[in-house]
C-alpha cells in the first residue's frame, strides 16, 4: 500500500472504523480559544476512562462539580483564574462516548489570557496511561500545546504566535 | 500448552492456509541466520534491493530523521498509515529476500512472533469486514539512512501489532522502541494453534503471581493500555492525527514511590522470574542487537535499582491487568485490554523501551 492508498483508506475510516480506535484507550482533550478577556475551552472526557476515575474517588456529585474539583487555571505566579462550566453534553467520537464541557477561564484583573498554567487530573489521577491532549483551536491549524499524563497535572500554556 | 511452530513460507505465502509449518522447540531459542549482526543484516538488505524496482526501493529507503523513526504505531494502518515497503505487495522472489532481512535481524523467537502476529491480523480480517486495514499484507519494512558498518542507520519492520525498530551503530544500543501485541490471544488457522505472545504473557504472569502476596508490588491506579505508547490526538468530526511516537522522548517515574517492589527485595526464585520476564522480551531481536542490553539490564547495579509492579489480576485473566519492569534503563510493560473485533474477549499489548537508548540514542525532540 502506498501512502496515497493508505490515506484513502484512512478517509474511509472516518465513517466506518470507529471501533478500531478502541484499540487505543481514548484520551481527554482540551481545545482552547484565546479571547481578549478569557479563554474558552471545549473539554472532552471519555466516559469509559472517567468511570474509573470517579469510581476510585467514589465521587457522586454532578459532572460539572466533579470537573471543577479537578480542572483549574492559574497565572504563572500562582494566582487562581475563575473557572465556569457553562454547559456540557454527551457526544460520541468514533464510537467512544465522551462528555463535552464548555468551560470559560477568566484571569485575575490585569493578567493576560495568552499565558497561564492549566491544571487537570480529572482522569489522570486514576488512569495511568491516560493523556490530556491540549490544543489551540483559534490558530489557522489546531496547534498541539502539550499533554498531561500522571503524575503531571500542570501544563504551562503559551498562546501560539498568530501568523 | 501451545504448540510452537515455525512458519517456513516466505512472507507473501505465510498465511497458514498456504504455508508449510514445522514444529520447533518450545523455548524458541534457536538462533536465526544472522542473529542481528550488522554485516549480515546489510548483506540481506543488499540482496533484497537487487530484487526491487526503483519505485519499491524508494519505498524501502527513507532518511534517518525523527519523523521517519517515530512512525510506528499500535493502530491498524487504516488509522495510522505506515510508510515503507509493503510486504503484501511483494512477489515470491522479493518476499524471500525480505524474509532474509527479517531473519538476519531477528532471533528465531522474533521471526516467529512476526509470522504469528501477521497471521492473527488475517484472522481478524476474516471476522471483521470493516475496511480498517487488518491484513497480514499490511506489514512494512523500511531502511532509514544508509546501511553501514560504522554510521548510524535503522531497520524498521512492523504493522498493526508489531513495531521492530533496530538502530545500528547508534550512540547507544538500539533494540527499541519495540511494541508487540496480539488479537486474538489464541487462535487456530488452517488447523494450527497459535498463541503469539505465550512466552511473554507466561513470563509476566508468572512474575506477577509470585509477587502478588507482597503489597509493595501493587501499583496504584488503573491501566487501560501501555503507559508509554503512541499518542493519538483526537479531533471530533475528523480523523485523529498522530498515533505514532510523537511523545518521544518521554519522562519516566522517578523516586521510589508507586513503582512496585525492588528486585533486591525478592527471593532468588522471584528474581529468576524477573530475569526470565526481561529475557522474554529481549530475546526477540537478534543476539548481537540485544545481548549488550540484557547485560546492562541484568548487571548487579541495574537490578539493584529495578522495580517490578503489577495491577489488576496477576494471572492476566482480566482487562486492566498490567505488569511492568522499571529500572535505570529498562521499561517493559504488558497490559490486557478488551478485544476490538469481539469486545467480550481480551487482547494484549506489550512495550519495551529503553530510557537511554530508544532509537539508538540518535533521535531527539
Contacts of A150 in chain B (CB under 8 A): 221
Q: How many degrees, rounded to 5, is the angle at CA B32 between CA B26 and CA B36?
A: 125
Express each pLDDT in A83-104 by its tens digit.
999 999 999 876 789 999 999 9
Residue window 257-286, chain B: list those with CB within 8 Å of chain A.
none
Residue of A nearest to B160 (CA): A23
- Which of A12, A20, A29 best tests the B interface by mutation, with the highest count of B CBs <10 A? A20
Q: What is the pLDDT of residue A107?
A: 98
All three cell numbers of B179: 511494541
Express each pLDDT in A50-73 by its tens digit.
999 999 999 889 999 999 999 999
Contacts of B230 in chain A (CB under 8 A): 24
Interchain contact B223–A (C-beta under 8 A):
yes
Of B331, B338, B335, give the one whose Cα is nearest residue B357: B331
All three cell numbers of B251: 519522562
Task: Tell me the C-alpha distance between B67 and A43, whole Å.
Answer: 29
Q: In what order do the strands lie in the sheet with A154-158?
A: A71-74, A115-120, A154-158
Asked whether B282 and B299 are in contact (CB, 8 A), the reply is no
Task: Tell me the C-alpha distance between B94 and B208, whole Å.
Answer: 43
**DSSP β-ladder status, B140-144 and B61-62:** parallel
Higher per-residue confidence, B14 vs A44: A44
Contacts of B86 in chain A (CB under 8 A): 1-2
Interchain contact B323–A (C-beta under 8 A):
no
Cβ–Cβ gap B235/A91 under 8 Å? no
Q: At what angle are helices B198-211 and B268-282 packed, to 10 degrees?
A: 160
Residue A19 φ then ψ, to 5° = -60, -25
What is the SS3 assignment for B364?
Answer: coil
All three cell numbers of A123: 482522569
Task: Tell me the C-alpha distance between B117 and B139, whole Å.
Answer: 10
Closest-CA distance, A109 to chain B, in angstroms, reads: 33
Q: What's the Rg (C-alpha) of chain B?
A: 19
How far the first Cα of chain B sits from its last, in Å, is 44
pLDDT level of residue A160 (50, 70, 90 thresholds):
confident
Interchain contact B88–A (C-beta under 8 A):
yes
Task: Tell me the C-alpha distance between B77 and A17, whole Å.
Answer: 11
Give the H/E segment covering residue B295.
Answer: helix B287-297
Task: Tell me the C-alpha distance between B280 and B3, whole Å.
Answer: 17
Asked whether A39 and A105 are in contact (CB, 8 A), the reply is yes
Task: Tell me the C-alpha distance between B242 and A142, whole Å.
Answer: 13
Closest-CA distance, B179 to chain A, in angstroms, reads: 13
pTM here? 0.89
Look up residue A76 and give its DSSP letter: T
Task: Tell me the C-alpha distance between B249 and B364, whole Å.
Answer: 7
Of B337, B357, B219, B325, give the one whose Cα is nearest residue A150: B219
Higher per-residue confidence, A133 vs B128: A133
Q: How many domains does chain B have?
A: 1
Cβ–Cβ gap A6/B81 under 8 Å? yes
Asked whether A134 and B223 are in contact (CB, 8 A), the reply is no
Residue of A nearest to B224 (CA): A25
Secondary structure (DSSP) of A98-129:
EEEEEEEEEPPTT--SSEEEEEE-TTTTTBTT
**Over 90: is that where the pLDDT of A22 sits?**
no
Q: Quick one: B34 exposed, middle or buried, by C-beta within 10 A (0-12, 13-18, 19+)?
A: buried
Interchain contact B235–A (C-beta under 8 A):
yes
- Which of A5, A50, A129 best tests the B interface by mutation, with the highest count of B CBs <10 A? A129
Contacts of A17 in chain B (CB under 8 A): 76, 78-79, 130-132
Cis amide linkage into residue B249, ω under 30° from 0: yes
Task: Tell me the C-alpha distance between A96 and A102, whole Å.
Answer: 19
How far the first Cα of chain A sits from its last, in Å, is 36
Q: What is the pLDDT of residue A48?
A: 94
Q: What is the pLDDT of residue B364?
A: 83
All three cell numbers of A121: 487530573
Contacts of B79 in chain A (CB under 8 A): 10, 13, 17, 20-21, 23
Task: Tell me the C-alpha distance between B207 and B194, whole Å.
Answer: 23
Of B130, B222, B251, which is closest to A128 when you measure between CB atoms? B222
Cβ–Cβ gap B231/A14 under 8 Å? no
Cβ–Cβ gap B78/A20 under 8 Å? yes
Give, in order, the Cα–Cα distances in Å from B177 to each of B250, B262, B360: 12, 24, 10
Of A1, A17, A25, which is closest to B225 when you measure between CB atoms? A25
Contacts of A12 in chain B (CB under 8 A): 78, 131
All three cell numbers of B172: 547507544
Contacts of B240 in chain A (CB under 8 A): 21, 94
Of B75, B221, B236, which is closest to A150 when you measure between CB atoms? B221
Q: What is the pLDDT of residue A26?
A: 87
Interchain contact B365–A (C-beta under 8 A):
no
Q: Quick one: B179 exposed, middle or buried, by C-beta within 10 A (0-12, 13-18, 19+)?
A: buried
Cβ–Cβ gap A93/B338 under 8 Å? no
What is the SS3 assignment for B276?
Answer: helix
Q: What is the pLDDT of residue B246?
A: 87
Cβ–Cβ gap B232/A3 under 8 Å? no
Task: Tell me the C-alpha distance between A51 and B222, whole Å.
Answer: 11
**DSSP β-ladder status, A28-34 and A39-46:** antiparallel
Look up residue A150 and give its DSSP letter: T
Q: What is the pLDDT of residue A5?
A: 38
Q: Quick one: B295 exposed, middle or buried, by C-beta within 10 A (0-12, 13-18, 19+)?
A: exposed
Other CB atoms within 10 Å distance of the CB of residue B224: 22
The DSSP bridge partners found for residue B349 are B181, B335
Residue window 180-219, chain B: list those with CB within 8 Å of chain A.
219
Grid-cell match 523516586, residue found? B255
Contacts of A16 in chain B (CB under 8 A): 130-132
Write the ipTM.
0.86
Q: What is the pLDDT of residue B109?
A: 92
Domain range holding B170? 5-361
Q: What is the pLDDT of residue B259?
A: 97
- Which of B56, B67, B78, B163 best tests the A interface by mutation, with the highest count of A CBs <10 A? B78
For chain B, 365 residues long, the average pLDDT of each consecutive 10-residue run is 37 34 42 82 98 98 95 83 94 97 95 95 82 86 97 96 97 95 95 96 98 97 95 64 84 95 98 97 95 96 98 97 98 94 88 97 87
Q: What is the pLDDT of residue B26?
A: 47
Of B130, B224, B243, which is closest to A127 when you measure between CB atoms? B224
Asked whether B183 and B341 are in contact (CB, 8 A), the reply is yes
Cβ–Cβ gap B78/A9 under 8 Å? yes
Q: Give the residue-averaged pLDDT of A136-163.
A: 84
**Over 50: is that where the pLDDT of A11 sits?**
no
Amino acid at each position: 500500500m502506498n501512502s496515497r492508498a493508505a490515506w484513502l483508506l484512512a478517509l474511509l475510516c472516518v465513517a466506518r472504523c470507529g471501533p478500531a480506535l478502541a484499540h487505543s484507550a481514548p484520551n481527554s482533550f482540551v481545545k482552547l480559544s484565546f479571547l481578549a478577556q478569557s479563554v474558552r475551552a471545549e473539554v472532552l472526557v471519555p466516559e469509559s476512562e472517567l468511570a474509573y476515575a470517579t469510581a476510585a474517588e467514589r465521587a457522586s456529585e454532578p459532572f460539572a462539580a466533579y470537573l471543577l474539583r479537578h480542572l483549574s487555571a492559574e497565572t504563572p505566579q500562582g494566582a487562581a483564574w475563575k473557572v465556569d462550566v457553562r454547559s456540557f453534553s454527551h457526544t460520541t467520537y468514533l464510537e467512544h462516548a465522551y462528555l463535552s464541557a464548555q468551560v470559560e477561564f477568566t484571569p485575575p484583573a490585569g493578567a493576560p489570557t495568552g499565558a497561564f498554567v492549566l491544571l487537570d487530573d480529572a482522569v489522570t489521577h486514576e488512569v495511568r496511561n491516560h493523556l490530556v491532549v491540549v490544543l489551540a483551536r483559534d490558530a489557522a491549524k489546531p496547534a498541539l500545546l502539550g499533554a498531561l499524563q500522571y503524575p503531571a497535572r500542570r501544563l504551562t500554556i503559551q498562546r501560539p504566535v498568530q501568523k | 500448552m501451545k504448540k510452537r511452530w515455525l512458519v517456513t513460507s516466505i512472507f507473501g505465502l505465510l498465511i497458514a492456509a498456504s504455508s508449510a509449518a514445522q514444529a520447533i522447540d518450545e523455548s524458541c531459542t534457536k538462533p536465526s541466520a544472522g542473529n542481528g549482526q550488522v554485516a549480515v543484516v546489510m548483506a540481506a538488505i543488499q540482496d533484497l534491493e537487487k530484487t526491487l524496482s526503483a519505485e519499491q526501493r524508494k519505498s524501502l529507503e527513507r532518511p534517518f530523521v525523527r519523523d521517519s523513526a517515530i512512525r510506528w504505531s499500535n493502530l491498524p494502518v487504516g488509522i495510522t498509515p505506515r510508510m515503507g515497503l509493503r510486504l503484501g505487495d511483494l512477489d515470491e522472489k522479493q518476499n524471500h529476500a525480505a524474509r532474509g532481512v527479517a531473519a538476519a535481524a531477528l532471533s528465531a523467537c522474533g521471526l516467529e512472533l512476526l509470522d504469528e502476529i501477521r497471521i492473527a491480523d488475517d484472522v481478524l480480517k476474516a471476522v471483521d469486514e470493516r475496511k480498517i486495514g487488518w491484513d497480514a499484507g499490511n506489514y512494512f519494512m523500511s531502511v532509514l539512512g544508509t546501511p553501514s558498518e560504522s554510521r548510524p542507520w535503522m531497520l524498521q519492520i512492523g504493522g498493526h501489532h508489531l513495531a521492530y525498530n533496530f538502530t545500528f551503530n547508534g550512540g547507544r544500543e538500539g533494540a527499541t522502541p519495540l511494541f508487540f501485541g496480539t488479537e486474538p490471544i489464541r487462535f487456530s488457522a488452517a488447523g494450527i494453534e497459535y498463541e503469539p505472545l505465550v512466552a511473554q504473557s507466561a513470563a509476566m504472569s508468572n512474575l506477577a503471581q509470585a509477587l502478588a502476596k507482597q503489597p509493595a508490588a501493587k501499583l496504584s491506579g488503573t491501566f487501560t493500555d501501555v503507559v508509554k505508547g503512541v499518542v493519538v490526538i483526537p479531533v471530533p468530526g475528523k480523523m485523529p492525527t498522530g498515533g505514532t511516537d510523537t511523545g518521544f522522548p518521554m519522562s519516566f517515574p522517578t523516586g521510589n514511590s508507586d513503582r512496585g517492589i525492588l528486585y533486591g527485595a525478592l527471593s532468588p526464585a522471584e528474581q529468576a522470574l524477573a530475569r526470565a520476564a526481561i529475557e522474554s522480551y529481549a530475546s526477540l531481536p537478534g543476539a548481537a542487537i540485544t545481548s549488550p542490553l540484557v547485560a546492562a539490564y541484568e548487571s548487579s547495579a541495574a537490578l539493584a535499582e529495578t522495580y517490578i509492579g503489577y495491577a489488576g489480576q496477576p494471572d492476566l485473566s482480566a482487562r486492566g491487568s498490567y505488569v511492568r519492569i522499571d529500572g535505570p534503563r529498562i521499561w517493559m510493560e504488558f497490559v490486557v485490554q478488551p478485544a476490538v473485533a469481539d469486545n467480550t474477549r481480551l487482547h494484549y499489548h506489550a512495550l519495551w523501551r529503553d530510557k537511554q537508548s530508544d532509537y539508538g540514542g540518535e533521535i531527539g525532540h
